[in-house]
Structure 1
Amino acid sequence: MVHLGSQRFPDEREYKTFLAQHGGSSNASTSMVHTRYHFKVHAEALPGALARCAREVENVHAEYSRNTNSDGRKLLQLRRSLCLPPYSNFSTGSLATLWEQPQQQGADVAGMLRELWQQCYRAGSTCVAVVGPQEPAQLLQWVAEAFADMPSSSSSSSSSSAGDDRGINGSVSNSSKDSISIQAPLTADTAEEQQQQDAAAVQPQQRYPVDVAAPGARGLLVRVLPQRELRELQLCWYIPAGAVTHSSCKPWQWASHLLGHEGPGSLAHLLKAQGLVQSLDAGMGEEVRQGRGWMFWRLTLSLTQAGEEAVDHVVATVYRAIQVLQRCSDEQLQKTWQEAATLAQLRFDWRDPVHPLAAAQSAAYSLHYYPASETLSGPALMTQHDVPLLRWFVGQLTAPNMNVYYSSRCNAGLVDGKEAWYGAEYGVHQLPQAWLDSIARYQAVDCHSAEGAAADVPQQQQRQQQQEALTPVPGQLHLPEPNWALPTDFDLRLEEGQSAAPAAAAAGAGVYDGAAPPPALLLQQPGLCAWHRRDTSFGLPKVHLRLHLVTPAVYASPAATVSTRLLLRVLEDLLLPQAYPAELAGSSYSLDSERGGLLLRLVGFPGVAAQLLRLVLQGLLGLTAQQVRERFTTMQGRLLQGLTNWANNNPAQHAEYGAHHLLQQQHHHNAALLQAAAAAAPGQLLALQQQLASGSDLHVDLLAYGNIGQKEAAELVREVQQQLQPQGLPPHCWPPASEVLCLSRVAGVQLEPSLSSPAAAAAQGVGKEGGVTAEVQQPQAAAARGQAGEQLRSQQALAPDGMAAAAAGDSAAVYITYVPVNPNPSNSNSAVYYILQLGPDSIETAVLLDLFVQMSSKACFYELRTRQRLGYSVSLSSSSLHRQLGLMVRVQSPSKRPDALAAAVRAWLAGFRVELQEMAAGVVLQNQKKALVAKYLDPPKSLQEAAKRAWRPIRERTLQWDRRRQKATAAQALTAQQLLEFFDAHLCPAAVQHKALCVQVWGGRKGMLAAAGASAGEKGTAAQAAGGAVAAENAGGGGAQQLTVLADDVEQFKQSQPLMPAPDVFMPPPAAAGWGIREAAL
């Protein structure tokens, strides 16, 4: 509610409007102990934003309604309900708790809110963090001025429970108990003295007197019946408040490191080898005071179908792993703790710079618990070894102190309770005696083996024993082996005379113009293009590798798509024992599939990255039939589970998915993927793997970016060449340049009567599979692009130009309503996804779209969410589907019909013309343009972001590395007339070029009936119900041609629509054409 106005700034839109005009945004959140407000804004507007920083009942209820179908929320509230107040209280709020019940009881909610604010939201409980490029003294002055009038604590109420009271260092400020106290930044002379004072200030604090664990509420098995296809086991142990007097040892992090490890000898490795679990996660759950208060520490295991039949074995095996820690000697405890501490230090020392907003959020929170000098390092590092504390912590991991939450559809018939707020169906039982007996029996097996070490069992024999039986074998579980991926080379690859000055300093000096030096072309040959750029400006000794393996094989059919996903999951599981230690040490990879092929992302220290790249490529190409068969059932079950659970997504997600499915010429629907996954076989994976290994119909784009020299990059390119041997793609195998349908009405062909009105036919020769493509030779475009070779080609689609066809056939606007079947009728929320097509990507259109989104998003949110209270989820943003630009508005509502939501969106769009004209006529437009230019020219904040910017032009085949600078130049030249003409031509519902698709997902049982009736009569009624409001509006003078498409009409509709014009793309010529190879570096 603080965002809706104050005494100083009474206009409820002023705060958001000010931020929007200066390229910023804001939000707030409330947890068990803390309320957090945060914003970001361009640096020059920081003083005004700080000054402004200091009717939500229905919106709160809408947020609550949105989450009532979430199994995660259900389980969270269920866990809380089994505890004592205040933790067991309903934590979100709803219409019943904030309006209906208070009215019945005569309670004054507004008065209670004011009382809470007066008691808790005071200087004594507040920590403020500000991150900006200005001098610390300037930041301190602004903070002092903005918060000087913040009321001091009216009593000794909350400061002791909120955190410690400290001064601030640099740009971080923290309040004292009675008033805002701002401390000047430290100098070299006073730093040591201040550090000693900070250390002295961190004394054991008053603990929470509340014991949230209810008597008799531990040692329980809680069976939960989930909505989704879920097989999850959560083992939760309660750690009481006051047990940990300091957080420098972090015993919970040490336990997570060992029990959550996935290398050989680990709990996860064993249970996966037995085919019982899909994933395992260990760590702190709900907690207060960053470990100094009470906490729930838990293990979460995602079970396979076989795991559901052996839950007792899984639980007993967990206690075998815990016993490994309990039986460690003091020397082993110190060694394992030091390993975890070393990895934490490594990740902290060589982390990417944190985004300023995230840094400010983290610092403000940490100031409650750490001195200013440890605001960043305190939460991350383990600095004090404490053997007794480690032993005490692992001693808490016992069965009497544990609750097991078992979520599975198999629990149907075993539940007899229903949680009051989110409706979780559950049953509470004592832990079965058979489970307790199994725990004791399993732990006894390991008592005869060496402490913490693997038994002397040959690896092959051990794996065979694991696979053949679930009987525990001594030595299966042991402490992690030494980490092979610990880096030793931290040197920066500097060129002669180069300085490693941070990029942020260069940006602060005003040298960044939005056009970083483009990567250099390292190699080009048929089948492979490689780029390289050395970047040490962030001072990080890491390299980012990106590989795009372009091949039509991965998306040729639903079966091919499923086979690709399964193949990558098998590979991930195979490599996990080696890749997991590397991830702990700061080097990691991901391999994903998409329409055009495979995407390999790898980041790490140079030496480790090279080994990891070799590991991934050899694993992909050397996968054996036995390795596939051993893992296939588990991975197939995991994929089927994910595809099945897709139905339980929120209506807003289904609406967006429906838009993408309808607008793309080729898009394999989830239903088709689910059918293909059920029929998949190991042989399909092996056939796909063999095709990839052959190198035929394969092209690779590669970027080596960061702390890597040219020769090192060349070695990695040679590794890729030798492993993949890509032979290139013939012209017809490249992904089509145009894949998006153009919403059009072209006369000539009638659709079946199942559509509510006849649709346009595509021009002659164009069917569902799209038009023919041809490559047109074009000269070198620019110096940066020219590095890609002398014969770059622009691929243009010869399918009919949808924009031109529509203009030739009719000059009226096009409005398509798509009503897919709601796959989750139990969710009563409804949603619309409203997208306006603007045409292929270009600098001018993209800048106009960005400017409009920046100027209108807050107005859209205010009108549809704040004023009309249509729902909690309201957003307006730009859309770029295969580089086809669009404007998107998404609304999800717990009570409004989708047709009413769609009408509200259209009405807002039509009415916003007046407000836009007012903004365009004054100083607001200049501020908005200035903010947009600053956004374009904003330098990357991390090495990861810089690598992403360098990769995107390669990935999209534009090679426009100076695009941000071009957009900034275009934004500076924009006029009010251009903006208004853009709105009048495309965005106004009555505009001639207005091409709108509105996907409507109808919630609940009535929505299912409205979306797809069982008979033709019901279907016609559904179309009338869904499209009636729009049809009436159009008949009233809008002039738009409207069409309602139901689920059964999708393929027919796609056949009737032409393709959007293809954006320019650049790519190498086919291998057969022959071309010059630049490989001097190799």
Structure 2
Amino acid sequence: MVQIFKNITKSPKDKRDYRGLILDNELRVLLISDPKTDKAAAALTVNVGQLSDPNGLDGLAHFLEHMLFLGTEKYPRENEYNKFLSENGGISNACTSMENTTFYFDVLHQHLTSALDIFSQFFLAPLFTEDATDREVQAVNSEHEKNLANDSWRLHQLERSTSSKDHPYSKFASGNLQTLVEDPKKNGINVREALLKFHRDYYSSNIMSLVILGKDSLDELQEKAENKFGTIENKRVTLPEWPGHPLGPEQLKKKIRAVPINDSQTLVITFPIPDMRQHYKSNPYGYLRFLISHASSGSLLSALKKRGWSSHLSAECNSVARGISLFVVNVYLTEKGLDNVDNIVDLIFQYINLLRQENPKEWIFKEYAEINNISFRFKEKVSPMEYVANVVVDLLKYPIDDVLTAEKLLSEWKPELINQAMEKLTPDNCRISIVSKKFESIADQTEKWYGTKYKIEDIPSELIEKWKNAKPIGELKLPKKNEFIPSSFDILPDNDILPDDIHPTIIYETKFVRVWHKKDDEFLLPKSNLIFEMISPFANKHQLCVNYLHIYVDLVNDALTEYSYDASLASLFYRLAATKFGLVVKIKGLHDKQHILLTKVLDTLINLEVDEERYEIFKESYERNLQNYVAQEPYVLAKHYQSAFLREIIWPKTELLKCTNHLTFYGFKDFIKQFFSSIHIECLIHGNANKAAAQKLIKLIESKLPKIPFPWSPEGLLICRDMKLKDG
């Protein structure tokens, strides 16, 4: 008897209909009816992945993911699935993680039934032909070779390779010719038979979940789910268990220095922690992540920035697999920071010790919960394929009624769980990785699969003791209450909108400013977008100008980090970027406190005071980013030059890099004065802002603008021109 779940908690703004099912074969299903969608999508995940690779066959779970696409008994042609999707407006993808293998696709909604018929056969009767097996292993190997120069893959595998050899986490996850052809041959293993056995052992409906999104009604979607997937065999598989943690006592209290491909410098502190996914309604690790990664005044990041050690920090809880979690703090290092790693770690433990001293605060939890609630309530739609791929994994982790809200809506205040989590964030329960090209001369080991050079050593016991007893300095404080959390979600009246007002119109124009406006009358959300471009003739005059402008953007963004961070938590975002014409400022999100953020952004943008030391830090960072860009794969550079050919004026990245040694602090200051001496503002206000609200924002912008002696001529504003290429 099919179990039906009709009370799935969703966002009040979500107009889609949901239904959960557990079919007779124990397959867990979520159905999503969206009458407005053009694309239908589906995803299926099986609760087995890289950690279940058999000994001597590293990468088999990933190889099986590849093989399922290549023919089934009902559809024996290898390209049947992808051919059908491409002919009907669809695409597909798949991924293998530690404990899941997920397959997903989208297609034009009218072809959903046929696509599901082909898709479902992967889990009923795949062929795994000899020919396809021999050929597809080359594709797996090519995928691995493509990742050899990717630092995120390299460093992730280094973490795994230096974990406990007794734990499957230490294996090589993606596989290559050596693990899937050469080694099995030496050991007398038939890889095709191993694939069939893996599919036979693990691909069982009782450890699978399925999400289908389409235009059809829930009843019609349920019929498709039952007809196509209800016959997947239930082998009553018991989920695999992995006793112990991959980072045991022998892997802790270590310092690893690793050499990257790109010229990047990071510090990573990794803590093995208990899996607390069952406490998703209180999310204790989320509370700690919220505070450690906070960027407001008094935060850990604020202290690091004041010392010139870092400009960015993040903290996250990685749920690797059932029973295995990692709490990770990432610090992006400046040159000065690289020389002060031990002091940075000391500062991090000072902040963690501050959290211990202060004890968990209910008001902070409530603010964190309110921020999550606002984000969930007004979350923007993503593509159907992305949506089903994200939800399908959670369907195996959480009760079906809570699958959309788990870890997003927090309702249980449990300070004892936060204290339990905090007990694991100690110097003797962590290991430290530092990444920099400067370690090339001391690296004495090479990681087997990616060739990453590294050095590993014990952290001295006296340093561990020092960090344990790190007393918080006075500047480290808990965050203040967030002034950007909205008090109003009202939709402003739109009495001044005419039926034919479907495009933005000019509502204000002077010699210096032109404002376009469009009140949203379709989505009716309490959000608005404010976009204005400061156009200056000096922005693109020569390479030095372009470089100075980009450095200025980085400095302004840095100066606004503490202030704008609270706004971003409350779903109000700003972005400042250099364009080929000047600077563009975007402020978007919930409208209620938008004017407060706009005031601060304008004040900082126009009146920023920069000292020479800060300028040098950001110049160095900008130059490193240029070097990394120029060193990227050929296709990235090809796209850059293809774009350049069509522009009337553009400086290629290579040209910008060549002249960085001519950049000076005094040249920078002169350029900024020049830039603001002659600007024109082109502005668009769109969303939950009627003309009265838009006029207030215009007055605010005008009040902050510097006095400009001479307006631009109308001809000077005709700037958006692309080249017409001649034949040949």
Distance of 2:670 and 2:295 partners within structure 1? 29
The corresponding residue for 1:361 is 389
1:142 is paired with a residue whose SS is helix
Alignment CA distance shift 1:338-1:404 (3 Å) = same
Q: Choose the corresponding residue for 2:686, options 705, 718, 729.
A: 705
Distance of 2:100 and 2:350 partners within structure 1? 38
The corresponding residue for 1:80 is 160
Q: Is 1:258 aligned with 2:338?
A: no
Q: Is 1:67 aligned with 2:147?
A: yes
**Counterpart AA for 1:2:** L
Distance of 2:243 and 2:464 partners within structure 1? 32
Alignment CA distance shift 1:325-1:33 (3 Å) = same
The corresponding residue for 1:962 is none
Alignment CA distance shift 1:532-1:6 (3 Å) = same
Distance of 2:718 and 2:621 partners within structure 1? 29
2:214 is paired with a residue whose SS is coil
Q: Is 1:324 aligned with 2:309?
A: no
The corresponding residue for 2:669 is 686
Distance of 1:623 and 1:5 partners within structure 2? 62
1:368 is paired with a residue whose SS is helix
Q: Is 1:482 aligned with 2:481?
A: yes
Alignment CA distance shift 1:106-1:552 (3 Å) = farther
Distance of 2:140 and 2:350 partners within structure 1? 45
- Give the TM-score normalised by the residue count of structure 2: 0.84
Percent of counterpart pairs with the same letter?
25
Q: Choose the corresponding residue for 1:29, options 83, 89, 95.
A: 95
**Counterpart AA for 2:264:** L
The corresponding residue for 1:635 is 618
Q: Is the 8 A contact 1:277 1:304 kept in 2?
A: yes
Q: Which has the larger radius of gyration?
A: 1
1:581 is paired with a residue whose SS is helix
CA drift at 1:423: 0.8
Distance of 2:551 and 2:718 partners within structure 1? 22
Q: Choose the corresponding residue for 1:521, options 474, 494, 506.
A: 506
Alignment CA distance shift 1:678-1:338 (3 Å) = farther
Q: Is 1:396 aligned with 2:476?
A: no
The corresponding residue for 1:598 is 583
Which structure 2 residues correspond to residues 613-652 of structure 1 after superposition, within 5 A? 613-624=598-609, 627-629=610-612, 631-652=614-635
Q: Is the 8 A contact 2:539 2:675 kept in 1?
A: no
Spell out, residue by residue over 1:288-334, the C-alpha distance to the aligned partner (whole angstroms, 9 max, x if none): 25xxx3111111111111111111111101110000111123xx532
2:490 is paired with a residue whose SS is coil
Q: Is 1:126 aligned with 2:208?
A: yes
Distance of 2:712 and 2:73 partners within structure 1? 66
Alignment CA distance shift 1:700-1:480 (3 Å) = same
Q: Is the 8 A contact 1:545 1:601 kept in 2?
A: yes
CA drift at 1:440: 4.8
Distance of 1:411 and 1:337 partners within structure 2? 41
Q: Choose the corresponding residue for 2:312, options 268, 279, 286.
A: 279
Q: Is 1:385 aligned with 2:418?
A: no
The corresponding residue for 2:52 is none
Q: Choose the corresponding residue for 2:564, options 579, 583, 586.
A: 579
Alignment CA distance shift 1:413-1:437 (3 Å) = farther
Q: Is the 8 A contact 2:273 2:324 kept in 1?
A: yes
Distance of 1:692 and 1:714 partners within structure 2? 26
Q: Is the 8 A contact 1:489 1:605 kept in 2?
A: no
CA drift at 1:371: 2.0
The corresponding residue for 2:652 is 669
Which residues of structure 1 form unaligned runs of 5+? 162-206, 447-473, 499-514, 743-801, 804-813, 815-1082
Spell out, residue by residue over 1:514-537, the C-alpha distance to the aligned partner (whole angstroms, 9 max, x if none): x99222322233333322222253
2:328 is paired with a residue whose SS is strand
Q: Is the 8 A contact 2:294 2:300 kept in 1?
A: yes
**Counterpart AA for 2:693:** E
Distance of 2:496 and 2:218 partners within structure 1? 31
**Counterpart AA for 1:32:** M
**Counterpart AA for 1:136:** L
Distance of 1:240 and 1:113 partners within structure 2? 32
Alignment CA distance shift 1:104-1:655 (3 Å) = farther
The corresponding residue for 1:570 is 555
Distance of 2:487 and 2:271 partners within structure 1? 38
Q: Is the 8 A contact 2:492 2:688 kept in 1?
A: yes
Q: Choose the corresponding residue for 1:93, options 159, 175, 192.
A: 175
Moved more, 400-409 or 540-549: 540-549
Distance of 1:18 and 1:666 partners within structure 2? 44
CA drift at 1:401: 0.7
Alignment CA distance shift 1:484-1:120 (3 Å) = same
Q: Is the 8 A contact 1:263 1:269 kept in 2?
A: yes
Q: Is 1:418 aligned with 2:417?
A: no
The corresponding residue for 1:239 is 273
Distance of 2:718 and 2:156 partners within structure 1? 44
Distance of 2:69 and 2:278 partners within structure 1? 37
Q: Is the 8 A contact 1:554 1:564 kept in 2?
A: yes
CA drift at 1:40: 1.3
1:38 is paired with a residue whose SS is strand
Alignment CA distance shift 1:723-1:429 (3 Å) = same
Alignment CA distance shift 1:208-1:339 (3 Å) = farther
2:168 is paired with a residue whose SS is coil
Q: Choose the corresponding residue for 2:119, options 26, 50, 53.
A: 53
CA drift at 1:86: 1.0
Distance of 2:77 and 2:216 partners within structure 1? 29
Distance of 1:520 and 1:665 partners within structure 2? 28
Q: Is the 8 A contact 1:520 1:531 kept in 2?
A: yes
RMSD: 2.3
The corresponding residue for 1:818 is none
1:711 is paired with a residue whose SS is helix
Alignment CA distance shift 1:215-1:270 (3 Å) = closer
Number of aligned residue pairs: 642
The corresponding residue for 2:535 is 550
Alignment CA distance shift 1:578-1:284 (3 Å) = same
Alignment CA distance shift 1:735-1:63 (3 Å) = farther
Q: Is 1:373 aligned with 2:404?
A: no
**Counterpart AA for 2:339:** E
The corresponding residue for 2:76 is 10
1:116 is paired with a residue whose SS is helix
Alignment CA distance shift 1:536-1:684 (3 Å) = farther
Q: Is the 8 A contact 2:245 2:272 kept in 1?
A: no
Q: Is the 8 A contact 1:27 1:37 kept in 2?
A: yes
Spell out, residue by residue over 1:112-131, the C-alpha distance to the aligned partner (whole angstroms, 9 max, x if none): 11111122222112111112
1:353 is paired with a residue whose SS is coil
Q: Is 1:303 aligned with 2:333?
A: yes
Alignment CA distance shift 1:401-1:349 (3 Å) = same
Q: Is the 8 A contact 2:641 2:652 kept in 1?
A: no
Q: Is the 8 A contact 2:269 2:433 kept in 1?
A: yes
- Give the TM-score normalised by the residue count of structure 1: 0.57
Q: Is the 8 A contact 1:235 1:299 kept in 2?
A: yes
Q: Is the 8 A contact 2:337 2:344 kept in 1?
A: yes
Q: Is the 8 A contact 1:82 1:214 kept in 2?
A: no
Q: Is 1:223 aligned with 2:257?
A: yes
Q: Is the 8 A contact 1:552 1:734 kept in 2?
A: no
The corresponding residue for 1:867 is none
Which structure 2 residues correspond to residues 853-868 of structure 1 after superposition, within 5 A? none
CA drift at 1:582: 0.5
2:681 is paired with a residue whose SS is strand
Distance of 2:713 and 2:342 partners within structure 1? 55
Q: Is the 8 A contact 2:571 2:589 kept in 1?
A: yes
2:592 is paired with a residue whose SS is helix
Alignment CA distance shift 1:232-1:669 (3 Å) = same
**Counterpart AA for 1:677:** T
Which structure 2 residues correspond to residues 848-997 of structure 1 after superposition, within 5 A? none
Larger relative contact order (CA 8 Å, sep ≥ 6): 2
Which residues of structure 2 form unaligned runs of 5+? 1-66, 121-134
CA drift at 1:686: 2.8
Distance of 1:734 and 1:255 partners within structure 2? 50
**Counterpart AA for 1:63:** E
